[in-house]
Structure 1
Amino acid sequence: MELLGLHHVSILTGKAENNYHFYTKVLGMRLIKKTVNQDNTQSYHLFYGDAKGNPGTELTFFDIPGLGQTYRGVSSISATSLRVKTTESLIFWKNRFEQLEIVHEEMTKRAGRDTLAFQDKEGTHLILVADNGEKGIAPGIPWEPTDIPAEHAIVGLGPAHLTVADSGPTVQVLTNLMGFRHVGSYPSLSGDFPDIQVYATGQGGAGAEVHIEIRPDLLKERIGRGGVHHVAFRVPNEEEYNNWADRLKEYRVPNSGKVDRFYFKALYFREPNGILFELSTDTPGFTSDEPVESLGENLSLPPFLEPQRREIEQNLRPLEI
């Protein structure tokens, strides 16, 4: 029983229209699912990913109009990575960010890989990571109907970056409960702090890593727009999902219990520093209710919400994208 890597990362936005423009027009990702927050059906939930909506490629956003800003700190998923194929791709993106006046840093090494950190318009911290032929979790499929050349397209999620005051409890959960292994470290970019520790699962590589930064000098994060709500990890099928549910019970980890999101089945729990983790199945996937050719074009509702479609649509604000 082994987690395959990252499944998706979910973030908060205060303006879905601007969010859609940035992730599809600036970053060239595909809108693969336009649906609602199943826990609050008056709010949109947008999914962006690769050409076919493969697990391990999705950024998702909960739309909460008027949401306040994020006050960054510890007990947080402080940065989300996106994979590109080569260092040459990073140069392409650096030039594009300069032309479009996107906030970005200089290229630097993280865990031995070339990377380029940047922010979206709501301050979400993002990092492009160059694969450069590295073995590990396979990348996704470029979405080509954009102005981004296929060779430079975003092809999946890279390492999730966690910032905590004390890494010990988080490491215990990653290794003893979730089966991650320590694979290395690299110097902190924030000054005189401990090296950032790298943990991997499954086949490893950028799509299967968690990086932990220790910052005892910071206060706890107050999440708002641009903040990361949770990170989800890939469970291959429902049989192993059931085994993970049993494992959480065995380890007496408080959790959500089994949650059927239709596109995947989920288990939610908080590790000791308060960061929300999710275990999500690869199956049945985002093409279970609409063909790959028309992903994201219409409002999708899972079957258990379909009888309420008229009411849901009446209560949703118009989304002009």
Structure 2
Amino acid sequence: MSIATSGLHHVTAIAGDPRRNADFYLRTLGLRMVKTTVNFDDPGTYHLYYGDESGRPGTLMTFFPFHGAPPGKQGNGQATATAFSVPEHSLGWWHRRLSEAGVEVDRVGQRPGEDALTFRDPDGLTLSLVAHPQPDPRAPWDNGLVPPEHGIRGLHSVTLSVDGEDATAGMLTGMGLSPVEQQDNRFRFAAGDGGPGTYVDVLVHPRGERGLVAAGTVHHVAWRAPDEATQAAWRSELVDNGVSVTSVLDRQYFRSVYFREPGGTLLEIATDEPGFTADEPLLELGRALKLPPWLEPSREQIEAALPSLDLPSENNPRRSAS
């Protein structure tokens, strides 16, 4: 393909209790709620977006929290791990913080050129904090809950579990990613010049069980396109190559198309524009429930069906300063 992504846009996962989900990602991990909205296909369910101060592409982790959702099963055909980037000296601090919060943390693991701390969120979603020696220029969300010198900078990478690497590798290289290293059955690819926020690891389990998407699993992985024109050209190339791709969908804060890579994981191409300040000011991001125009007539019923989230005051600078 002639179109190449610059890196990860966001990762979307399934959760259970929305309040428990928000408490963990806001208070424990120190991310910001940059948008509180609903699943456009199921408006009785939240769609929660966490990221840096403005929710820049590459910093975003989002959730569909279905209260009472059954647990999923991680396995082949899905993204089985999501990693965030932290400063190289911060893993000891994070180990203490997570342990004090009652989170079971694996020992620091060695990967080629980097260290990783692996744990699970309250629904069992596998997460890692990766200290990469290459400096990450992205600024953390400075909310007073996590010191900025240790704060999460954004996404580092995702891991796709597959039966075999060849077909998945072919699609990734067609999307402009390049193979950069291999460790046993783990193959790493990078977008652009590489670095945190550009990586995808392909983990090969030839006889592994298939995963089941439900609570505690990733729903899809989104890659960046700078604008709608680039996305449209990219979609056309995918269609020309025989890939089944959705029409362009309006997600209010970006435009999306979806398709599956040959190993089974659902992928998305999401535009960088227009961003999360399209319908509320930067200082108020995430505070109020935002609905697309076609759902506004049902706002009263939607709000009545959704539980309150109890956002920390630190999520909105104006509120915490008052």
Match for 1:319 among 294, 302, 308?
308
Query: Which residue identity lines up with residue 297 of structure 1 in the other structure?
Result: R
Structure-2 residue corresponding to 1:259? 249
**C-alpha distance in 1 between matches for 2:76 and 2:307:** 36
Residue 182 (str. 1) matches residue 179 (str. 2): yes
What RMSD, in angstroms, separates the aligned Cα atoms of the two structures? Answer: 1.4
Deviations 1:72-112 (A, max 9, x none): 221110000001122x2111101112222211111122232
Query: Which residue identity lines up with residue 138 of structure 2 in the other structure?
Result: G
Deviations 1:258-286 (A, max 9, x none): 11111000010011221100000000011
Structure-1 residue corresponding to 2:129? 128
Structure-2 residue corresponding to 1:285? 275
Structure-1 residue corresponding to 2:313? none
Deviation at 1:245, TM superposition (A): 1.6
Deviations 1:21-69 (A, max 9, x none): 1001110110110000011111100000011211110100001111111
Structure-2 residue corresponding to 1:155? 153
**C-alpha distance in 2 between matches for 1:92 and 1:4:** 31
**C-alpha distance in 1 between matches for 2:157 and 2:137:** 13
Deviation at 1:237, TM superposition (A): 1.2
Structure-2 residue corresponding to 1:118? 119
Structure-2 residue corresponding to 1:166? 164
Deviation at 1:203, TM superposition (A): 2.6
**C-alpha distance in 1 between matches for 2:120 and 2:307:** 27
SS in structure 1 of the partner of residue 133 of structure 2: coil
Structure-1 residue corresponding to 2:56? 54
Deviation at 1:303, TM superposition (A): 3.0
Match for 1:34 among 33, 36, 42?
36
**C-alpha distance in 1 between matches for 2:133 and 2:293:** 41
Tell me if the contact between 1:5 and 1:201 (Cα under 8 Å) persists in the aligned partners: yes
Tell me if the contact between 1:161 and 1:212 (Cα under 8 Å) persists in the aligned partners: yes
**C-alpha distance in 1 between matches for 2:240 and 2:19:** 43
**C-alpha distance in 2 between matches for 1:57 and 1:43:** 23
**C-alpha distance in 2 between matches for 1:180 and 1:78:** 19
Tell me if the contact between 1:9 and 1:231 (Cα under 8 Å) persists in the aligned partners: yes
Deviation at 1:139, TM superposition (A): 4.5
**C-alpha distance in 2 between matches for 1:139 and 1:37:** 32
SS in structure 2 of the partner of residue 152 of structure 1: coil
Deviations 1:186-244 (A, max 9, x none): 24xxxxxx3x1011112311210110111123210112211000000010111211111
Q: Structure 2: state its 5+ residue gaps.
A: 311-322
Tell me if the contact between 1:25 and 1:146 (Cα under 8 Å) persists in the aligned partners: no
**C-alpha distance in 1 between matches for 2:292 and 2:192:** 30
Residue 225 (str. 1) matches residue 223 (str. 2): no
Match for 2:77 among 75, 81, 96?
75
**C-alpha distance in 2 between matches for 1:99 and 1:14:** 23
- 1:3-14 correspondence to structure 2 within 5 Å: 3-14=5-16
SS in structure 1 of the partner of residue 271 of structure 2: strand
Tell me if the contact between 1:52 and 1:141 (Cα under 8 Å) persists in the aligned partners: no
Structure-1 residue corresponding to 2:106? 105
Tell me if the contact between 1:90 and 1:116 (Cα under 8 Å) persists in the aligned partners: yes
Tell me if the contact between 1:103 and 1:120 (Cα under 8 Å) persists in the aligned partners: no
Structure-2 residue corresponding to 1:201? 191
Identity %: 39
List structure 1 runs of 4+ shifted beyond 4 angstroms: none
SS in structure 2 of the partner of residue 59 of structure 1: strand
Structure-2 residue corresponding to 1:89? 90
* TM-score normalised by length of structure 2: 0.92
Match for 2:287 among 292, 297, 308?
297
SS in structure 1 of the partner of residue 5 of structure 2: coil
Tell me if the contact between 1:122 and 1:225 (Cα under 8 Å) persists in the aligned partners: yes
SS in structure 2 of the partner of residue 284 of structure 1: coil
SS in structure 2 of the partner of residue 43 of structure 1: strand
Tell me if the contact between 2:87 and 2:131 (Cα under 8 Å) persists in the aligned partners: yes
Match for 2:299 among 303, 309, 312?
309
Deviation at 1:319, TM superposition (A): 2.0
